[in-house]
Amino acid sequence: MNDKLDLILVELLEIKTELKNLKSDIAIIKNQTSKMDSHVDFVNSVYEKVETPMNYIVDKFNSVLLTSDKPKEQIE
């Protein structure tokens, strides 16, 4: 009976150790996710600022291509 209790105690300690490791890993992942969120927000803000001018340039470029004598290919 004592051997079974010792075995259960060993297993419980192993589970506690693994749980502690998992909590540590989750903390690291949360930190990295936060950094990625900041990066995505930055990229989105830059895109919002350049989207309209970029579309204007692409539209003008396409109109030049479409009105030229060369084969009509449109940039997307």
Amino acid of residue 27: A
**Is 3's pLDDT higher than 80?**
yes
pTM above 0.75, yes or no: no
What contacts 24+ positions apart, CB below 8 Å, involve 40-47?
Answer: none
pLDDT at residue number 71: 58
pLDDT tens-digit series, residues 16-72: 999 999 999 999 999 999 989 999 999 999 999 999 999 999 998 888 888 765 555
> What torsion do the CA atoms of 3, 4, 5, 11 make, to the nearest 10 degrees?
110
